[in-house]
Amino acid sequence: MEEKEKKPLSAFLTDAEVKVVWREEERTKVGRGMITNDDENFVYLTGQKGTVIVNKRDIIAIKQ
């Protein structure tokens, strides 16, 4: 059985402005910017106000 190769999320959304919605402490948060990097557990979203590190398990939606 072959194992599928996992591509990073940042490879699909290169040079794209996105909106990310995630939950944090019983609240919903929204961030706008570019996904600069991601690893197994986290997504790094960089916007005008700085960089936010979001756990992938907490992401509700990503809109391009």
Along the 64 residues of the chain, how does pLDDT read in single tens digits?
Answer: 456 667 777 777 777 899 999 999 999 999 999 999 888 899 999 999 999 999 999 999 999 8
Which long-range contacts link 38-47 to residues 24+ away (Cβ below 8 Å)? 38/8, 38/9, 38/10, 39/8, 43/9, 45/18, 45/20
The whole-number pLDDT of residue 12 equals 75
> Does 2.30.30.100 match the CATH number of domain 9-63?
yes
| Cα atoms in the Cβ-side hemisphere of radius 13 Å centred on 34 | 6
Sheet containing 59-63: which strands, arranged edge to edge? 50-55, 42-47, 27-38, 17-24, 59-63
